[in-house]
Structure formats: C-alpha cells, structure tokens
Structure 1
Amino acid sequence: MTTFTPSSAAEVLDAVAWAVAEEAPVEVVGHRSKRSIGRPPQTEHAIDLSGLTGVTLYEPEELVLSARAGTPLAEIQRLLAEHNQELAFEPMDYGPLLGAPQGRGTIGGALAANLSGPRRIKAGAARDHILGVSAVSGRGEAFKSGGRVVKNVTGYDLSKAMAGSWGTLAVVTNVTFKVLPAAETETTLVLTGLLDDAAVSAMALAMGSPAEVSGAAHLPETVAARIGAGTLPSGAATLLRIEGFGPSVEYRVRHLRDLFGSGAGLSEVPAEASKILWRVIRDVTAFADGSEKPVWRVSMAPSKAHEMVMALRMETAVEAYYEWAGGLAWLRMEDDSEVDFLRRLMRRFGGGHATLVRASPAVRAAVPAFEPQPPALAALSARLKEQFDPKGILNPGRMG
C-alpha cells in the first residue's frame, strides 16, 4: 500500500499523475473525520492531505479567505473569530458522531461534503459560499476555477461542482470562501411541551414572520433531556434562534413572544448558552454514543418529515429530532435490520433525501449511503465523472 502525504499542490499533482499512469485507484482523505460515511474504501493506496495546510489569503475587509485543503476548520474559525467574522454556513463537525475527535474536520472536507448547520435555512451550505478552487482532476490535470473576490462570478458552477462530490471528481488543493461578519449576540426562544406536528407548525409560523429566525429545531423530550440539561426546561423543546445586534435581537424576540402568546410555555436561552446549545444540535451530539447504531440524515418537506417519522416509529425503534424548521430529521435506529425500510417509507410521504451517516462496515457495504439519483440526474453525474475522472481513480465506490 502506498500513501502519499503531499505538502504542496505540485506534490498532489505528482501523486495523482502516478495513480493515473498506474491505473491505481486512490482514497483521498484529510484528517479522516468523515471517512466512515459512504461505502468502505475500495483502494490500496491513499492521498493524505492532512499536511497540505495553511491560510493562503485572508482579506477581512473584502470578506474573503483562501486556505489549503487540509487546513483544519477549527484553525480557520479561530482566525475568523479574531476579526469578528465567520463561515456563515455553520459547518457541522461529524467527528464525535463517528467516533473521531472533535475539531478534526478540514476546509477541503467541508466543501467535499457540502457541510452546513442549523443556519442553512437562512445562509445556505458550503456550495453557496465557495468562490473558487484549485484542484487536480482524475485525469492528472491541475485546474483553477472561480476567483478571490465576492463580485467575481467566473467559474462558479465548476467550483460548486466540487461541493458534495466527496472527493470523487478531483483532489482539491486550495479553496476560497466568502466570509461574513459574525452576529454581535444571539438569543434562543424556547417553546416547551409541543408534539412534533405542533412544533412544525410553530416553526413555520416563526419562519414566516419578520423575526429573521436563523435556527429552528425541535427536540422531543428524550433528546431535549439528553442535550439540554441545565439549559432547557423539562419536556420537549422547540427552539428558535435570533441573531444580530443587541437591540434588534431583543425586538425580534419580543415579536415572537407576542406572536405565540403567553400560553405557549416560553423561555429564553441567553447568548453564550445558546451558542453551546446550537453547536450540540449541529453536531448531533445526542447520538454520539460510541456505537455503530445506524444514524440517518433525512431531508424532506417540513410538513411531511414528522409524519414519516411517526410512521417509522410504528414499525421500528427510532429516536429523532428536527432542524431546518422540520425539514431535516436526524434519526438513530436501535439496530440495522430496518435500514432499507426508511427509503421505502419516505416515498410514501412524497420523497426526500436520506443519507446513511453512521452504520457498521457490513451495513455500509450493503446499503447505499447516499440517496439513489433519478435516472436523468444519474446520467448527468456519470457524464461529469467521465469528464473529471474517466478511469475512476478517485475514491472509487464511495458514493455507489
């Protein structure tokens, strides 16, 4: 087995060129915080980007940051915090859920997995903030796409094509992201004791108001008790996050209080505790139990996701909570006997997108981790793969 550990874009090019010449498939990895998502690796060789690190450009006044692909997200977030800025798409950290240390994810991995967090309902995901990339295709050819300023739109589609490709199209060596000012403060309004259907209605009401909610989640009682001890009242918790300048936050929280009325069981989580709470929600800490019990990430219409979960509960043991105003459900099953049943059930409720985030190697090998694509989209993906990696050199089988 050969493992390449490049520390420059030129060395990445050399490694991919070797793989192409030898027709030897390679696994592309960073710090391996998301390595167990998708099919188990089907390669004997690897390109390890953990040494390809460092911020290459940061212009706070231009709201632009560039970094080599293996740069830890934690390092970038600390740098941005020093200038009161942030990656607005709020990338989650899969590490603890998958049994890896916290803070090991990389900026290249954030793009490859198209990471996002609770703020996706307002700010989008990584693909909505990428400005440019430098990469090496599976043909062994270096290329650049996009620019380093927000107003430069050249090549956006090619940069965005890397988002969610999980290293199967090219080895990204450098990324350029738009960054934004961080909120001065935040408050989370808590509605207590709602069942899933009532919680989804409440979140929809808040999202349709002028309050500019930046996070909307519902934690059933068992999940709320596990992750909100000392922060949340007892019972199920429906959470609405408001971010911005202090007076604006106060005004919008008052607006939501008036909207729901005094009988809604309302309370507030102040700024620092709110930040911790949403980080725990973002990183699915409630299900980070050190096991291989299947965990699914399911996106559906908010009006249907909770109905699907209720039907699922009638058939198998499952624990769930919701983000994105009910449009994202995190599910943990007690065993792996029903992992394929979920997708069949989703079709009964209008369809959606289900990703098997955690499971045993045997289940990952047997069940498609990523949502099977409709024929037209699958054909388009195949053409894209043919253009970028015709010999199937990069991360073969991972998304299959």
Structure 2
Amino acid sequence: MTTFTPKTEEEVLEAVQWVLSEEVPVEVLGQGSKRAIGRPMQTEHAIDLSGLSGVTLYEPEELVLSAKAGTPVAEIEALLAERGQCLQFEPMNYGPLLGGEPGRGTIGGVLAANLSGPRRLKSGAARDHILGVRVVSGRGELFKSGGRVVKNVTGYDLSKGMAGSWGTLGIATEVTFKVLPAPETETTLAIRGLDDEEAARAMAIALGSSGEVSAAAHLPVTVTGKVIDGALSGKSSTLLRLEGFAPSVRDRTAKLKAYLQPAGEIDEIAEAQSRRLWREIRDCLPFADNTERCIWRVSMAPMEAHKMVANLRLGAGVDAFYDWQGGLAWLRMEADPEPQALRRLITHFGGGHATLVRAPVATRAAVDVFEPQPTALAGLSQRLKHQFDPKGILNPGRMAAA
C-alpha cells in the first residue's frame, strides 16, 4: 500500500490524478482520529493530508480564518483563544472515544464529518459556519466555492455540500470558517435526581425561558459519575449551561435557578469545572472505555429520544445519556442489537437517524453504519457522487456499500 503525503495543494492534485489514471481506490485521511467511523474500505493507496498544514489567513477583526485542511484543530483553537475568539460550534473530538489520543483531528476533518458540540442547538454545526473551501474532486480537478465573507453564494453552495461527505466527494485542501468571540465566562446548573422524562421536561422549560441557555444535557445516574472525576456521582444530573459576560451570567443564573427550583435540588458548577464538563460531554468521554462495545449516535425529537431508549431497553442492555436538550442520545450497547430494530423504534417515535460510531470491524462491514437514505434521496446522492467522483476512487464504500 502506498501512502501519499502531499505538502501542497498541487501535490494533492497530482496524487488524485495518478490514482484516477490507474483507476485504483484511495483512502483520504488527516490525522486518522475518525478513521474507524464508517464501513471498512478496501483501498490500495492512501492520501494523508497531515502535512498539508498551516493557517493561511486570520483576520480577527473580520471574524474569518482560513487554514489548510491538515491543520490540527487544537492549533487553530489555541490561536483563536489568544484573541478571545472560538469556533462557536465547538467541534467534537472523536479520538478518545475511538481509542486514540485526545487533541488530534484536523480542520478538514471537521468539515468532512460536519462536527459540532453541545452548542449546536444554538449555533449549529460546521456547515453553518463554513464560508469557503478549495477542493480537489475525484475527477482530478481543482475547484473553489464560497469566499471570505458570509454573503457570497450564488447557485449551489458547494462549501456546505462538502460538509458531512466524509471524503467521498472530494478532498478539501483549504477551508475558510467564520469565527466568533468566545464567551467571557460560563456557569452550569445541575438539577439532581430527575429521571429521563422529568429531565426532558426541565430542559424544555429552561430552553423556553429567558435564561439564554447555550447547552442542555442529561446524564442518568449510571453516567453522571463518569465526568469531572466523579464530582456529580450519586444522582442523575440535568445540566444547563449559561454563557456570556459575567454580570449577565450571574443575573441569568440566579433567575433560572429560582425558576427551576420546583424541579428539585440544584447545584451550581463554576467556570473551570463547567468548561471541562462540557468538553467531556462533547467528546462522549463517559463511554471512552478502551473497548469496542458498540456506540450509536441517535438524533431525534428532544421529547421522544428518552421514550425510544426506554423501549430499546426492554430487549437490549444499553447505557445512555443525552445532549442537545435530549435530541442527541449516545447509546452504549452491551450486545449489538439489530440495527433494523433500533431504526424501527426511532421511526415509531417520530423519526430521526442513527449512526454507528464505534464497533468491531466485522460489525461495521455487516451493517449500515450511516442512516440509510430514502430511495429518492439515495438516487440524488448517487448522482452527486458520480458528478464529483465518477470512477468512485475516493473513500469507496465508507458511507454505503460500494
């Protein structure tokens, strides 16, 4: 197996043109932090973008940053922090969950996987912050989409089209993201002892209040002791984050705490611990146990997810916790259930989608890792794939059986 390690956009283009001329499949990766997500691929070659690194433009006053696709996310976040800015969608780091090192992952991978974190319910995901992208397609052609301002799109927004494509349409060589001021401070309220249904109601009430909650999660008693060194052990924790300027956070915290007092005991988690807590929730660290036990990422209506999990538990051993006001359920299975059974339950409770983010290779080869698309949408996806990668050389079979 040959691994190409391009250092420039021109070398990426040359590598793709070579594998295209040979009509051999190629794996596309950055630092490999998400390599174990998706169906196993049978590829003869790889294009490793970790050497295509470096910030090419950063204008703090214009709230814009451009970087080569292989630039580590940690490097970008450190640069932004120096100027009091951040990626508002707080992209997840899959490394520890998949048995890798923390702090790995590239900015190109952020776009390819359309990553997000707890703030998604307020700020969206990577696709909502991408301004422009330069891409080498599976045709061996270089194209660019978007630019360095927000209102720059006429026709198809190919920048957003690359989000969530997992390297199957093209290889991003440079990306441009909108950046925003980082919150000055934050506080988290933890309502203790609620069951899943009570927590769903409490989070809905909090999100509907004037508290401007930026993140809401529920950790059942089996999970709550696995964050911030067990500081929340003993009772379930329903977590509400408030961010912004210190006086505003203090005022909103006091009002929301009084408003939610009937829900039960409420603890207050100060800034440093709060930041760590939400990073651990973002990266699914409660389930980062160095095993290959199957983990599903399920997105559905916030008031329905806990009902689906309760029904799933009637026939399977499952541990779970909830982010996005209950709309994102992380499930760790004691034994892998039939994916069809899980997806039937999701459909029964209003619909949604499930992604198998961790499993043994044999399991990933045998099931639909990503949510199967309806016939019409699948046909559209196939036509799009053919337009960008007619020979099917880029990450073949990763998202669906080739």
Indicate the residue corresponding to 1:89 in structure 2.
89
Structure 2's unaligned 5+ residue stretches are none
Write the distance in 1 (CA, Å) between the matches of 2:50 and 2:154.
29
Indicate the residue corresponding to 2:359 in structure 1.
359
User: Deviation digits for residues 273-303 of structure 1, max 9, x if unmatched?
Assistant: 0000000000000101111000000001111
CA contact 1:52–1:68 (8 Å) conserved in 2:
yes
Indicate the residue corresponding to 1:20 in structure 2.
20
Identity %: 67
1:101 aligns with 2:87: no
**Once the 2 structures are TM-superposed, how far is the Cα of residue 150 of structure 1 from its aligned partner?**
3.1
Cα 1:156/1:324, change in 2 over 3 Å? farther
**Once the 2 structures are TM-superposed, how far is the Cα of residue 108 of structure 1 from its aligned partner?**
0.2
Segment drifting more, 196-205 vs 230-239: 230-239
Segment drifting more, 68-77 vs 334-343: 334-343
1:38 aligns with 2:30: no
Cα 1:342/1:263, change in 2 over 3 Å? closer
1:336 aligns with 2:336: yes
Write the distance in 2 (CA, Å) between the matches of 1:263 and 1:298.
27
Write the distance in 1 (CA, Å) between the matches of 2:294 and 2:212.
34
TM-score, normalisation: structure 2:
0.97
User: Deviation digits for residues 301-349 of structure 1, max 9, x if unmatched?
Assistant: 1111000000011111000000000000000001225444211221221
Indicate the residue corresponding to 1:165 in structure 2.
165
Write the distance in 2 (CA, Å) between the matches of 1:135 and 1:263.
51
Write the distance in 2 (CA, Å) between the matches of 1:277 and 1:360.
28
Indicate the residue corresponding to 1:192 in structure 2.
192
Write the distance in 1 (CA, Å) between the matches of 2:64 and 2:315.
49
Indicate the residue corresponding to 1:216 in structure 2.
216
Q: How do 1:1-400 residues align onto structure 2 when only pairs under 5 Å count? A: 1-154=1-154, 157-232=157-232, 234-261=234-261, 264-400=264-400
Write the distance in 2 (CA, Å) between the matches of 1:190 and 1:149.
39
AA of the residue aligned to 1:224: T
CA contact 1:189–1:267 (8 Å) conserved in 2:
yes
Write the distance in 1 (CA, Å) between the matches of 2:339 and 2:374.
20
Write the distance in 2 (CA, Å) between the matches of 1:41 and 1:50.
20
User: Deviation digits for residues 232-272 of structure 1, max 9, x if unmatched?
Assistant: 26300000000000011111112211211256211100001
Write the distance in 1 (CA, Å) between the matches of 2:12 and 2:32.
18
Write the distance in 1 (CA, Å) between the matches of 2:233 and 2:223.
12
AA of the residue aligned to 2:147: G
**Once the 2 structures are TM-superposed, how far is the Cα of residue 148 of structure 1 from its aligned partner?**
1.2
Q: Counterpart of 1:385 in 2: which secondary structure?
A: helix
Cα 1:194/1:291, change in 2 over 3 Å? same
AA of the residue aligned to 2:296: W
Write the distance in 2 (CA, Å) between the matches of 1:340 and 1:79.
44
Q: Counterpart of 2:164 in 1: which secondary structure?
A: coil
Write the distance in 2 (CA, Å) between the matches of 1:25 and 1:209.
52
Q: What RMSD in Å do the two structures reach over aligned CA positions? A: 1.2
CA contact 1:41–1:395 (8 Å) conserved in 2:
yes
**Once the 2 structures are TM-superposed, how far is the Cα of residue 114 of structure 1 from its aligned partner?**
0.1
Q: Counterpart of 2:172 in 1: which secondary structure?
A: strand
AA of the residue aligned to 2:176: T
Cα 1:191/1:230, change in 2 over 3 Å? same
Write the distance in 2 (CA, Å) between the matches of 1:25 and 1:201.
49
Write the distance in 2 (CA, Å) between the matches of 1:134 and 1:339.
36
AA of the residue aligned to 2:385: K
Structure 1's unaligned 5+ residue stretches are none
Write the distance in 1 (CA, Å) between the matches of 2:340 and 2:34.
22
Q: Counterpart of 1:160 in 2: which secondary structure?
A: helix
Write the distance in 2 (CA, Å) between the matches of 1:25 and 1:342.
32
Write the distance in 2 (CA, Å) between the matches of 1:143 and 1:61.
28
CA contact 2:126–2:163 (8 Å) conserved in 1:
yes
User: Deviation digits for residues 119-146 of structure 1, max 9, x if unmatched?
Assistant: 0000000000000000100000000000
CA contact 1:74–1:104 (8 Å) conserved in 2:
yes
Q: Counterpart of 1:365 in 2: which secondary structure?
A: helix
Cα 1:184/1:391, change in 2 over 3 Å? same
Write the distance in 2 (CA, Å) between the matches of 1:337 and 1:298.
14
Cα 1:24/1:370, change in 2 over 3 Å? same
CA contact 2:316–2:337 (8 Å) conserved in 1:
no
Write the distance in 2 (CA, Å) between the matches of 1:196 and 1:230.
20
User: Deviation digits for residues 14-54 of structure 1, max 9, x if unmatched?
Assistant: 00001111111110011110000000122111111010000
Runs of at least 4 residues of structure 1 off by over 2 A? Answer: 149-156, 228-234, 336-341
TM-score, normalisation: structure 1:
0.98
Q: Counterpart of 1:234 in 2: which secondary structure?
A: coil
User: Deviation digits for residues 53-97 of structure 1, max 9, x if unmatched?
Assistant: 000000000000000000000000000000000000000000000
Cα 1:200/1:113, change in 2 over 3 Å? same
Write the distance in 2 (CA, Å) between the matches of 1:6 and 1:379.
33
Cα 1:188/1:155, change in 2 over 3 Å? farther
CA contact 2:225–2:231 (8 Å) conserved in 1:
no
